[in-house]
Structures are given as structure tokens and as C-alpha cells.
Chain A
Amino acid sequence: MNKVGRRLAMLVGGLSLLLAVAGPWITPYDPERPTADVLMSPSASHPMGTDASGLDVFSVTVAAYRTDLLIALAAVVLSLVVGIVLGVLAGYSFGGSRAFGILGKAVDRLLDLVQSIPVVILGLALVATFGRGMPSVIAAVAFVNVPVFARLLRSSLKSAERGGLVQACRSVGLSERATLLRHVLPNSLDSTLANASVALGGAILLTAALSFLGAGVRPPTPEWGALISGGANYVPTGQWWISVFPGLVLSLTVVCFALAGESVRDRLSGASGRKRSADAGQTDAAQTDTDTVMRLA
């Protein structure tokens, strides 16, 4: 993706963040209280129309931004914390300690296990167990990202341990803890942290996808996936606006976050030719995901 594209993505992403923060002050209607107008097509009073219960689609879409972003942020932070802990256990040998070696292998297999569970099924299971609500969705979205961060950190720790710095720290006589916390981790976290910014876009998408399938937040809470899913029934009868507008906003947001995230990552980890091509692959993946949601919508 070229520079201009990324700049544009940053700009749109930034503007939309403003929108999320300023949401309650700019929405013309209360996103949770129906108006008298039911299934109105887009007009001056309802720029994106209204849905079957009379909610203003524009207001709900703007308000939903907060919900989705909040869930995605919480999930990414949560998965980052858990991922770093697991990554350290899986990737660092603690001076060839036997106990940590076994623990590390166990964590590796655990990560395999986690990655083999389909997220939608997991989301449904969580919702079935703990009820619909933010904690369940956050847990499900975080669950998907934990192995990603853990694996990233694991591999950078593994290569760091073969490098000179760890050897040098040991030979100087630093304890394993000091070596890890003062030298190895700070120098290995870059790529993991940088990838968190990219993961945010994906997390938003996943949040919406879970809601779309009915495993998301409880209905009155404004949420994109729920909105799209609720409107999908009306598309065949011509009331396209309920699904299409939030769908477009969702796609735009996710793509912008993915691109902006890549810019942040490259700036953090020093862009190289190899990394840039890897980024291109991920952008494609993000776009395919977006297409899928669009098709669902």
C-alpha cells in the first residue's frame, strides 16, 4: 500500500475516532429510543433512514462506534497482557531451567489448542454460558488474539536468546529475571506491540461479526453487527439502507484501522522491504474479511 493511501487511512481513521468520542453530542436522535418514523428511507431528517423499530440509522451507527471500539480496545489490551505472559513462558528458557522448559512446551501446545477452536463457536459458547454482554464478547475477541501475540513474542524471544545480548548478560552475572525484564523483553516487545495496532481493526470486525451472528452484545446497545443483521431481513423488500450504511461504515473503519495500524507498526519496528510485503498480505486478508461481512450484510 502506498504512502498516500496510508496517510488517507490515518486521516479517515482519526476523523472517525473523533466521531466516536463526540458521538453523543452530534447524533440527532437518541440511538436507543425509537422515533415514530418506521422504515423511512434516507431523507434530510434521517440521513441514513430509520429501521423497523423506528431507530434513526445514522444515530445508531455513530453510537455503535463507541461500543465496537471499546470492545475491540479492551480485547486487544487483554490479549496483549495474556499474550505477553504466555509468550515469555513459551519463548524464554530461563537459563535452561527444566521446569520452565516443560512449562514452555505446555504453553506451546495450549496455544495450538486455542488456535484450533473456531472463534464463532467459542463466542456462542461464551454467550450461552455467561449471557450476552460485553465481557463475553471481549473474552471471545481477546481469546483469538492471545496466540497471535504470544507466538510473535515467543519467536522474538527465541531468536534473542540465541543472540549475543543474552549471553553477555549471563556472563556479566545478571540474574535471569534481570536479563529478561531489563534487556531481553524491552528489546523484543517492539514487533508484538506494533502488531497490536494492526490487530485493532481485526478486533472491530470480529466484534461486529459475533453480533451479526447473535453472539454479541445485548440488543438495545447500539452495535454495527447487530444493526446489519437486523436490517438484512429488509434488504429483499427494498429497505436496503438499514444494513448498507452501517456496513459501509464498518468496512471503511476496519480498512482504515488496518492501514493506519501498519503505518504505526512500520514506524515502530523500522520498515524493511520484507516486512512491507508481509503487510501487503495482511491488508489483503483484512479486505477479504471486509468483503465477507459485506456479503453477509
Chain B
Amino acid sequence: MSSMRLQVRDLVVEAGRGGERTQAVRGACLSVAEGQVVGLVGESGSGKTMTSLACLGLLPPGVEVVGGEITVDGHAMLTLPERDRRALRGPSIAMVFQDPLSSFHPGLSVGTQIVHSLRDHGVGRAEAKARCIEVLGEVGLPKPEAQARRFPHQLSGGMRQRAMIALALANRPRILIADEPTTALDPTVQAGILRLLRRLADDGLGVLFISHNLGVVAGLCDEVTVMRNGEVVESGPTARIIGDPQHPYTQTLLAAAPSLPDPVEVGDPIVVREEPGAAAPDSRVDRDAAVYTLADVSRHFVSGSRGRKTTVHALDGVSLSITKGSSTGIVGESGSGKSTLARLLGALDAPSSGQVLFHGQDLTGMSKQDMRAFRRKVQFVFQDPTSSLDPRYTVEDTLREALHTHGVTDPAQVARRFTELSEQVRLPKSLFGRYPRELSGGQRQRVAIARALAPRPEVLIADEPVSSLDVSIQAQVMDVFRDLSENDGLTLVMVSHDLALIRDVCDSLVTLYNGTVMESSQAAAYYEQPMHPYSSALLHSMPNPRHIGRLPEVLALGEPADPTSPPPGCRFHPRCPRAQDLCREQRPALTAMPDRVLACHFPLTVPAVTAEVGER
């Protein structure tokens, strides 16, 4: 068993002080061999992070190992004194965390930190410097000498995570523990990091990859261990665990995991005008059916004072309309302007230029009365229910207030609405007396949805409504949204970075990049055959649990453009594999096609991608 790099046997970890001790990990077993990537899967509270911290001997105060064995690179980690453990961290075992910004020292350059970690293990000054540059190159950072001099905040999210991996790899460890290393990243960037980890493993590194995302695990890992409530429920080769799970819990997880299933029925299209900035409304749009019409809407955030002004182009010349009863997904990477657009639609923010029309009425400069009427018709669901609910209000208080605000004050009527809302969001009425802290994340989000539904709105805008929830809960909450849009005739606008997740819910999609519309189309057409290279890149970057042993593709080079200085021409051209001189010079106009509107000089017309993405 000389190739076994990390072995954990019957690990028991206890947390808590005094009499109240809980077992965070109960008899976990796992092993990682040379050149192997082992996935550790579980939802929050499953004990996966505690297991990994125990391997490093870095459990937080009050948490300790009470049983079992951990062997790291041939050393019995648990019996070693702290001094010897420290010597192992780096040369034998290293870790990468989810958030590289908080793991780096903000005041030292990346290179300095890597050199420090080498010097701590007795490497000479010159040698450490050379190794630093070498390892930065190894993780795929361009111009490693220049990157070494930069500070963590100067790097983009993906670069920072690569630098974090470089820091971990500096001392040539045999084992790398990666705890949700790509969770905070865009799928397009995630795909690149996953490929890097795979390459490192192929070169002999043992990787313990902790994730809640079965799609990522399916593509990257050789073996999978599934944990729940501190116990290992199933483990084995990826093909068996993901492809043919035996344990009911793994099956539940897999059923809830977003993948790209069969096409759904085609809904109403979004109609986008051909020319951004054209003032006259398109005659083809049935004006009664259009709930929202956006004409050349921009939102710029200006910060700094004279001389040092920076302008963030959150949205630039967006024109679109949203039809009554449709459910529209707004997709794109972080910084693409999705949330800004949603906030404009909800009148939580005003455009810098252009018009947002709601049933033909401009949202800016509305009278107080009209605004009140608007608020009743358009409601919002936020990403984080914990912060959007008042901790001092019970569920009932929250809902009652929303009803009272919109004139429902009769007690019998209020009680009737409570029952209706409880059914609509599938939240038992027995929970109505509870405070938000006494509810689970999924239940809290249901409360937030119920609050939004209280005034019987016409439009419901949801900004990443499930991204703070566990996978198995995400699917349930998305079901609520689907019912609302299908059965209750609600017009739904949903912002999401997860194309797989919203597939069941949305019938049309608007793809944003760098504040501009790239493609907006019927969902079915989009998933079957994305025509914009950016849409295609997004779709291909989505991890899919069905793709065992196949990593997501990287079809967009680099990372999202800086919104403070958008590139000329087509915004996407610096990352586009099809870019030509025309793309660099001229911004493509939105052009109408039968089933979509597109802004691209050289759209993809060959349905080559369909087979890969649509398969199930």
C-alpha cells in the first residue's frame, strides 16, 4: 500500500463544550491513493469539512478527534506532536479553501507568501524564489513573474484560486485537500480549475476534493465518498456511486442535482428589438401582452471623486420585453449585470439612461400612488432569506404585515390568505408561529416567497433564490416556482448563474455578458442549440452528473471582462474563440431570428454542441 497517500480509519470527531458534546464525524473511513482524486460529497453539516481539517490536524478549538486513525503519507497524524505535524503541512499535505481572498494575507504579495511558505520549510532564498515562479506557472497563471508581485485583491477570482493552489503546491505535497475550491467561482472559471486539479492528479498528486456539487464530482473524481450527518453512507468508484447509486440518500442527492434534462415545452418568446436605442416600440410586440418593455437601458455606477472617477458599466444599452405569463431566466457570469437588471425591473434602482416601462408606464418619475400600485403588482424574492426576513418577526407577523401593507386587514380574510399562501409555498401552517432562526434555510426562503405572494402580484422577480440552499432543498424550492409560473399564471423573472437549475422553470432566457444582451431566446431553442459563442460556453461549462469522467469544457477564454473598462466592439471578443477583426471593431446589433434574438457577427450555426449538452 505504498501508493496510499491519505488514509482515514473510523474517525470520530466531537464538538462542543462541557456536557453538550455532539459528534460531528462518526466513524468516517476514506483513503486517497497517488494520482487519485477522491470526492467527498455531502450537504452542510455532513461533517466533510471537519474530516478534512482533522487530516491536517487543524480542527478549531473545542473540536477534537476522539477516535480513529489518520495516516498522512505514512505518518500517523493523530499521535504526532504539533511540531512534527507542522513539518508535514506543506511538504506532505496541503489545503485549498473555498474563499482564497480570506485565506491569503491581504498585505503581502502573492509571491512573498509563497516564498514564506517555502522558507518555513528550510528552502534557501534563491531556490524559494525560483520555485515560486515555477509553481505559479504550473497552475496556469500567465506571466508568473508579474503575478508574483501582485497582491491578492488585484487578482480576479479564478486567478486568486489558482494562486491559492500554487501556495498549497509550493512545497510539493503528496496530498492536496481542496474544500469546495470552485463553489464561489463562475462555472466558466470553475471548469478551468477542475481541469488544473485533474492534471495535477494525473502527475501523481493525491487529491481529496470536497464538494456538494455532484456534477463537478462526477466529472473530476475517480472515487466518491458520500457523507451524511457525520457518517459515510456510501463510497466507491465514481462510475458506480454516481452512475448506479445504491444508498437512498445518494439517490436523493442525485435526483435533486441539477442536470440538463430533456427539452421542455416551448413557451412565449421574449421579443427584443433589432436596434438597441431605437425609440419606437416594435410593432410585432403585442403591447398588451408585454409586461415590461426596456428601451436602451443603461445603469452606470460612478465612484471616486474628480480625476479618479471610475465608472462601472453594470448595464449598457439593454433592450428587451417580457411578456405576460412568461417565465424568464436572466443568466450570465458574475458581473454580467443580471442582478442590476432584476433590481431595475423591481424599481429598487433606477436606470442611468433609457426607460423601463411597466405596462407602458415609465418606472422613473412615478407618482407615490402609482408606485404603491406597482409594488403590489411586482414582488421580489432575494437570494438570502436569512437577511431579508426580520429576525424579530414570526412567519405570521411577516405575512400579516405584507397583507396589511396592501390593504388586506380583515382578520377572516387574512386567515384565509394564510391558508392559501401556506399551500402555495408548501410551508405547513404549524410553522407560522416560528421565528426565522427556528426555520431551516429552505423554509425561510418559502416564507420569503409567501411574503412576496401575499399581495397577489402579477410579476415575481427572484434573484438567485436558491443559491444559498443545499442541493436537495434547491430542487424543492424550484418546484414551488415552477408551480407558480405554470399554474398561477404569474409572470416570473429569475436571475441565476445555474443554467441547469432553471431549465425546468424558465421558458425564455436572456443571456447577459458585461452588461449587454448576447442572446435572448426561447429556452428550448437555447438548450438545444445555443447560437451565441458565449451561450455555448456557458452551457458547456455546466457540470453534469451524467458526465462521469468528463470535465466541463472551457469555451470562453480567461475570465469576465472588467466592467469598469468594457472592451470595444463585441464585449465578448477578448474571450471568444471565433473572434475576428470585425468583432474587435464593431459592436454587433441585436438581430431577430425565428426563435431568438442574437448579438453576434459569427453565430454558431452547426448544432455540433447539441449532442453533448442535451444528452441524458
**Residues of chain A whose beta carbon lies under 8 Å from any beta carbon of chain B:** 163-165, 167-168, 170-174, 178, 182-183, 186-187
Contacts of A163 in B (CB 8 A): 387
For A169, give the chain B residue with the smallest CB separation: B390
Tell me whether chain A's interface is mostly helix, strand or loop, or mixed: helix
* Interface 9-residue window, one of B70-78, B224-232, B398-406, B560-568: B398-406
| B389 interfacial contact with A, CB 8 Å | yes
CA gap between A222 and B389 in the complex, in Å: 52
| B451 interfacial contact with A, CB 8 Å | yes
Contacts of B388 in A (CB 8 A): 164-165, 167-168
Smallest distance from the beta carbon of A178 to chain B beta carbons, Å? Answer: 8
| B209 interfacial contact with A, CB 8 Å | no
- Tell me which of B380, B383, B386, B390 contacts A187 (CB under 8 A): B390
Interface string of B353-392 (1 = CB under 8 A from A): 0000000000000000000100110011011101111111
Contacts of B455 in A (CB 8 A): 173
* Contact yes or no, A171 B402, CB < 8 A: no
Contacts of B405 in A (CB 8 A): 172-174, 178
CA gap between A172 and B408 in the complex, in Å: 14
Could you show 9 A-B contacts with beta carbons less than 8 Å apart? A163-B387, A165-B389, A167-B380, A167-B388, A173-B375, A173-B455, A182-B390, A182-B401, A183-B390
Smallest distance from the beta carbon of A42 to chain B beta carbons, Å? Answer: 48
Contacts of A173 in B (CB 8 A): 372, 375-376, 405-406, 455
Residue in A167, A170, A178 whose Cβ sees the most chain B Cβ within 10 Å: A167
Given A164-B382, A164-B384, A167-B382: A172 in contact with B389 (beta carbons within 8 A): no
Given A168-B448, A170-B348, A171-B346: A186 in contact with B392 (beta carbons within 8 A): yes
| B191 interfacial contact with A, CB 8 Å | no
Given A164-B384, A167-B348: A172 in contact with B390 (beta carbons within 8 A): no
Contacts of A168 in B (CB 8 A): 380, 382, 388-389, 448, 451
Contacts of B505 in A (CB 8 A): none
Given A164-B382, A165-B390, A187-B390: A172 in contact with B402 (beta carbons within 8 A): yes
* Contact yes or no, A171 B379, CB < 8 A: yes
| B271 interfacial contact with A, CB 8 Å | no
| B135 interfacial contact with A, CB 8 Å | no
| B452 interfacial contact with A, CB 8 Å | yes
For B373, give the chain A residue with the smallest CB separation: A173
* Contact yes or no, A172 B375, CB < 8 A: yes
Contacts of A172 in B (CB 8 A): 375, 379, 401-402, 405, 451-452, 454
Q: How many A-B residue pairs have CB under 8 A?
A: 54
Contacts of B386 in A (CB 8 A): 164
Smallest distance from the beta carbon of B346 to chain A beta carbons, Å? Answer: 6
CA gap between A165 and B444 in the complex, in Å: 13
Given A164-B382, A164-B384: A171 in contact with B390 (beta carbons within 8 A): no
Contacts of A178 in B (CB 8 A): 405
CA gap between A165 and B448 in the complex, in Å: 11
Contacts of B452 in A (CB 8 A): 171-172
Of all A-B residue pairs in the complex, the 8 with the closest CB atoms, nearest first, are A173-B375, A164-B387, A171-B380, A164-B388, A168-B388, A183-B390, A163-B387, A164-B382
Smallest distance from the beta carbon of A202 to chain B beta carbons, Å? Answer: 30
For B385, give the chain A residue with the smallest CB separation: A164
Interface string of B404-416 (1 = CB under 8 A from A): 0110000000000
CA gap between A174 and B348 in the complex, in Å: 13
Contacts of B392 in A (CB 8 A): 186-187
Contacts of A182 in B (CB 8 A): 390, 401
Smallest distance from the beta carbon of A187 to chain B beta carbons, Å? Answer: 7
Contacts of A164 in B (CB 8 A): 382-384, 386-388
Contacts of B389 in A (CB 8 A): 165, 168
Contacts of B402 in A (CB 8 A): 172
Interface string of B284-307 (1 = CB under 8 A from A): 000000000000000000000000
* Contact yes or no, B387 A171, CB < 8 A: no
CA gap between A187 and B390 in the complex, in Å: 8
Contacts of B454 in A (CB 8 A): 172
CA gap between A173 and B379 in the complex, in Å: 9
Contacts of A187 in B (CB 8 A): 390-392
Smallest distance from the beta carbon of A200 to chain B beta carbons, Å? Answer: 26
Contacts of A186 in B (CB 8 A): 392
